[in-house]
Each structure stands twice: as C-alpha cells, then as structure tokens.
Amino acid sequence: MDLGATFWLIGWGLIGVLILYVLFIASQRAQRREAKLSVTLVIVLLVGGLALNTLGAGLVFIQPQERGVVISALSGTGYRPVALGPGLHWIMPYAENVVRYSISNQTYTMVAQSAEGKVQGDDSVSARTADGQLVYFDASVIYAANPDKVVKLHIQWQGRYEEEFVRPRARSLIYNRAAQFTVEQIYGSKRIELQQAIQDEIRQDFEVQGLTLVQFLLRNISFSPEYATAVEQKQIAQQNAERAKFLVQQQEQEAARLRVEAQGIRDAAVTRAEGESKALLLVAEALRNNPDLIQYTYVQKIAPNISVIVLPGGGGSGGSAPYILDLKQLMDSMPRPVATAPVTTTTP
C-alpha cells in the first residue's frame, strides 16, 4: 500500500470516528442523559479527516514496474500527455486520478491444454496450409507495455488490449502465415522461418498500438490424424530405405574386399612367374656359357638312385664306342656268401 492510500484511509478513519461520536452524543440525549457535544473535537476530526483524505487523493506512488496515466478534468484532452514514472507524485485531488499500467513482461498462451491457457478448453490456433492440410499451433506471445506509449495504449484500449488486440491479432497472423507454407515445410525445414515471419509481423503491429513484443514462440505443431499416420508410414519407409542402403553398402564393401584379395593373388602369381622367368633366363645364360652344367645338374638330381655307369671308350673318330656298365646286373651276378653253422666250444 502506497503513502497516498495510507493517508486516505486514515482520513476516512477520522471521519468515521466523528460520525460515531455524533451518534453517541445523539443516543445519550435521546435517553435524556446529559451529553455535551465537543465542537472542538468535531472540528478536529472533520478537518483532520478531510485534510488527510485530500492529501491521500493527491499523493500517488508509482512502483518501478508501473506507469501511471493521469485522467484529468482540468485538461482539454481529458488526460495528461505524459505518464507518471516511478516514485511519488502529486495530482490535483478529486479532479484527477491515475490508471496504473504494468510494464513488466506478460505472457498470453494459446494451447490445446485447457489448464495452461487463459481460455478454458482447446485454445490452439487451427490453420490451413498451402497444400490444404489442417494444422494446429500451440503458441505463446511474450510482450510488455511500452513505457513511453502507455497513454496511447490507454486511449486506444483502456486495459482491454490483451483480449481485444493481443489474442485476435496473434491468431490472425498465425493463420495467414501458415497458408504460405506447405505442411511438409512447416513440419520440417521451414518451421523456424515461419516462426520468425510471424514474430516480425506481430512486432510491427504491437509497436503501433503501444506494446513491445519480447518473443513469439511456436511451442507445438500437431496435424490431423490422417496426416500423422501418413507421416509415420513415410518415416517407416525412409527407415527401410536407409536399411536397404546400408545393406547395399555392406555388399559393396565385401565385393571390394574380394576384389582386393583377388588382385593380391594375381599380383603374387605374376611376381612368382616373373621370378621363375628370370631364373630360367639365368639358367639359359649359364648353359650357354657352360654346356656341361646340364650333365652335372642331371647327375645331382639322380645320384641317390644311380644304377648304370657309362664308361668312355676310345677317343677320336676311330675310337671304340662307350662301354655301359649295368650295376644292378653286376650285383646280381656276384656270388652270395655261404652261411656257416655256429662253432660250439666246450670247456674241459
């Protein structure tokens, strides 16, 4: 309670005491009892009450979060052009009065849940999109009275601005802007753009009326049951497509692995063939330089199982032919050792 209201109440209290005092004196005299009216007391109570009432009516204290519009019978326009700021002010008692306006942030909410918004029941905003789909918006408008324009706000709306301007204007802009987007745009990439477009337009309209928009929020967007089902089916199809794409990628990776493995086998075979080819070239070069090397290599290969020896004959063109010695036949023709009985020695 501010100082002016305190004085006003005290003044009315004194007047009340005066009335009770006069009634008490009158009742005493009615009962034929001696009761003398104190004129001095009456004057003190009357003057004190009126003085405090007047003082209380003229003193106005404006809180920091308020502005005061002075309605004045002394002004040709009926109001003071400048609102009262925070602090204690003096106005003309009984000829002027103050209408207080809060400049704190206020929130007007329009949602489907009846327990949250100011309007009971479903207060969400329904709108048709560019492709004819029905969409429901839950929204909140956070705003405040412009401290420099509260006089204009009072003249235009006189405290009815929330119900008669904020709510209908916000709903109208949401409805009109939603019609410029398709339902897929609102559901996906264009939601932020839609919210920003509505916010910019609301801000312009509010400034004209003496209000400041703090923020506009699209809190929730819901669709008709038919479209919600279609969206769910589309998401399922997209998930299946992504899964199929993942399987294809796995198969491609496996095929790439097999190709790399086959290429490695081919490269190894080529390397081995090149090595053998180079080895054969070296052997050919060695044989060309030393023809007897092939005989040596051949003997080395068969030495563990040799059974025939070729002895050279006479040299020259008139010499005798080489002599072939069959070792296996020679070994078979040799006499076998005769087995003898064991000799037993007797000790005398």
Report the range out of 27-31, 67-71, 295-299, 314-318 with the highest average pLDDT: 67-71
pLDDT tens-place string over residues 205-248 = 999 999 999 999 988 888 877 776 766 676 667 767 777 788 78
Question: What is the predicted pLDDT for the residue at 139?
Answer: 92
Residue 71 pLDDT > 90, yes or no? yes
Mean pLDDT of 74-95: 90
What is the predicted pLDDT for the residue at 321? 56
* Confidence check: pLDDT of 41 > 60: yes
Q: How far apart are CA 65 and CA 102, in angstroms?
A: 6
Q: pLDDT digit string (tens) for 104-163?
A: 999 999 888 766 666 766 788 888 889 888 889 999 999 999 999 999 999 999 889 999
Quick one: tokens of 128? 């048709």
Specify whether the CB–CB gap between 220 and 135 falls below 8 A.
no
Q: How far apart are CA 181 and CA 189, in angstroms?
A: 11
DSSP lists the bridge partners of residue 137 as 125, 221
Beta-bridge partners for 139? 110, 218
Pairing of the two strands 308-311 and 323-326: antiparallel
Evaluate whether 123 touches 130 at the Cβ level (below 8 Å): no
Please state, in angstroms and rounded to a whole number, the distance separating the CA atoms of residues 207 and 143.
11
Q: For residue 141, which of 114, 126, 161 has the smallest C-alpha distance?
A: 161
- Confidence category of residue 38, pLDDT binned at 50, 70, 90: confident
Q: Can you tell me which residue has the tokens 């709306």? A: 157
State the sign of the Cα–Cα–Cα–Cα dihedral 99, 100, 101, 106. Answer: negative
**Least confident range of 15-24, 58-67, 248-257, 290-299:** 290-299
Percentage of residues of the chain with pLDDT beyond 90:
31
pLDDT at 334 over 80: no
Lowest-confidence pick of 27-31, 157-161, 322-326: 322-326
User: Tell me, what's the pLDDT at 123?
Assistant: 83
pLDDT for 340 beyond 60:
no
- For residues 3-9, give the mean pLDDT: 82
Q: Rounded to an integer, what distance in angstroms lies between the CA atom of residue 312 and that of residue 319? A: 10
**pTM for this model (two decimals):** 0.59
Lowest mean pLDDT among 50-54, 151-155, 181-185, 281-285: 281-285
Which pLDDT does position 344 carry in this prediction? 44
Residue 275 exposure: Cα atoms within 13 Å on the Cβ side: 6
